[in-house]
């Protein structure tokens, strides 16, 4: 019987979705279940308002309450006052929506730290006898990969006919191995274990589907599978780069797993696109109200200046009328 270790990589590999959710949300604001509709607590709102993005937004779009002096000499009617009050309420409502967006972004940043940290698979029969396993490759002859390949003989043409050396097509696949220290993300391990529910959950929580395995594992260059890996010799070792979860599924010919992965990524991309549009719409409304308030303020200021100039011109036009009137009465 295989003992399932209580780490996130092992939970992903063995499709232990319940434990995977608990480990992924450990130490994350909001906990296991986060309801975006929950109202912000006072302490939470203060922390969000201290976020640099929120600080800039408040400084840029806060309308503030208009004073009575703003209406003196201009359109000082009840309709204008009501419009400004409505704008202030709508602005505060959109700022509250933006705070929830910032809260979600803070939560997802914390989730990403848990979801995208590479680790080893822990395998054993009991909690005491556990052996760490890394990702390792195997190379074998691929009977399906040689026909018609560039650089090799085409169908109906042998190496004897062409006079060239026979090319043996090879297939590179990946598996857990206790000989390998190569760490991988939980999503890599879920793909390697063909754990479909774990893949869906990891992508839903925000795992990076483009993350690559990148680690100097100390292998010599002649041991690495050059057909799929980019490698250069460094200090007697060789860094492995470029293996995404999708490429891992393709290399292992896990067609069903690849389909699940791509569907989950497509769904996640649509969600992120809608969120981006929502954020842009909120910022657009905030900008429109701020611009309208500023336009009205400048308009009132211009009318006030015009009225003052009119009064000054009227007074200067009657500058000599006061004394002649007094002389006439005398």
pLDDT 10s digits, 54-104:
888 888 887 765 555 555 544 455 555 556 677 888 988 998 898 889 889
Q: Which residues contact 22 (CB under 8 A, 6 or more apart)?
A: 32
Contact call for residues 172 and 137 (beta carbons, < 8 A): yes
If one counts every other C-beta atom within 10 angstroms of the C-beta of residue 293, the result is 20
pLDDT at 218 over 60: no
Gap between the Cα atoms of 117 and 24, Å rounded: 11
Strands 170-177 and 3-4: unpaired
pLDDT of residue 69: 55
What pTM value is reported for the model?
0.74
Across residues 223-250, what is the average pLDDT?
A: 58
Contact call for residues 209 and 203 (beta carbons, < 8 A): yes
Gap between the Cα atoms of 79 and 218, Å rounded: 75
H/E stretch holding 42 reads helix 42-49
Across residues 248-263, what is the average pLDDT?
A: 96
Q: Which of 6, 2, 13 is nearest to 183 (CA)?
A: 13
The residue ranking higher by pLDDT, 152 or 28, is: 28
Long-range Cβ contact pairs of 218-225 (< 8 A, separation 24 or more): 218/181, 224/137, 225/137, 225/139, 225/170, 225/172
Q: Which of 286, 250, 325, 235 is nearest to 96 (CA)?
A: 286
pLDDT 10s digits, 14-36:
999 999 999 999 988 877 666 66
Q: Which of 135, 293, 134, 303 is nearest to 229 (CA)?
A: 135
What residues are paired with 216 via a beta bridge? 239
H/E stretch holding 213 reads strand 213-216
Measured CA angle at 115 (ends 109, 121), to 5 deg: 160
The residue ranking higher by pLDDT, 258 or 98, is: 258
pLDDT at 233 over 50: no
pLDDT at 257 over 80: yes
Distances, alpha carbon 317 to alpha carbons 184, 306, 309, 311, 326, in Å? 87, 16, 12, 10, 18
pLDDT 10s digits, 90-116:
988 998 898 889 889 989 999 999 999
């Amino acid at each position: 019987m295989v003992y399932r270790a209580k780490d996130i990589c092992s939970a992903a590999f063995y499709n232990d979705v319940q434990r995977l959710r608990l480990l992924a949300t450990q130490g994350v604001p909001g906990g296991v279940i986060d309801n975006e509709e929950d109202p912000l607590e006072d302490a939470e709102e203060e922390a969000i308002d201290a976020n640099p993005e929120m600080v800039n937004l408040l400084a840029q779009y806060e309308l503030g309450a208009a004073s009575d002096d703003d209406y003196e000499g201009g359109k000082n009617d009840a309709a204008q006052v009501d419009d400004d009050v409505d704008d202030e309420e709508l602005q505060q409502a959109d700022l509250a929506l933006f705070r929830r967006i910032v809260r979600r972004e803070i939560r997802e940043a914390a989730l990403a730290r848990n979801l995208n940290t590479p680790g080893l698979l822990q395998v054993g029969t009991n909690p005491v006898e556990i052996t760490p396993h890394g990702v390792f490759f195997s190379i074998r002859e691929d009977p399906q990969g040689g026909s018609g390949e560039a650089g090799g003989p085409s169908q109906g043409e042998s190496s004897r006919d062409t006079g060239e050396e026979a090319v043996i097509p090879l297939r590179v696949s990946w598996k857990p191995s206790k000989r390998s220290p190569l760490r991988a993300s939980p999503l890599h391990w879920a793909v390697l274990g063909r754990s479909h529910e774990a893949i869906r959950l990891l992508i839903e929580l925000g795992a990076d589907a483009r993350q690559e395995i990148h680690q100097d594992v100390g292998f010599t260059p002649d041991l690495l599978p050059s057909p799929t890996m980019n490698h250069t010799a460094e200090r007697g070792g060789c860094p492995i780069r470029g293996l995404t979860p999708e490429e891992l599924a393709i290399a292992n010919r896990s067609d069903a797993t690849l389909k699940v992965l791509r569907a989950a990524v497509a769904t996640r991309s649509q969600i992120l696109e809608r969120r981006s549009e929502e954020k842009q719409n909120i910022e657009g409304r905030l900008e429109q109200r701020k611009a309208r308030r500023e336009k009205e303020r400048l308009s009132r200021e211009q009318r006030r200046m015009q009225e003052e100039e009119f009064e000054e011109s009227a007074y200067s036009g009657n500058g000599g009328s006061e004394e002649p009137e007094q002389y006439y009465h005398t």
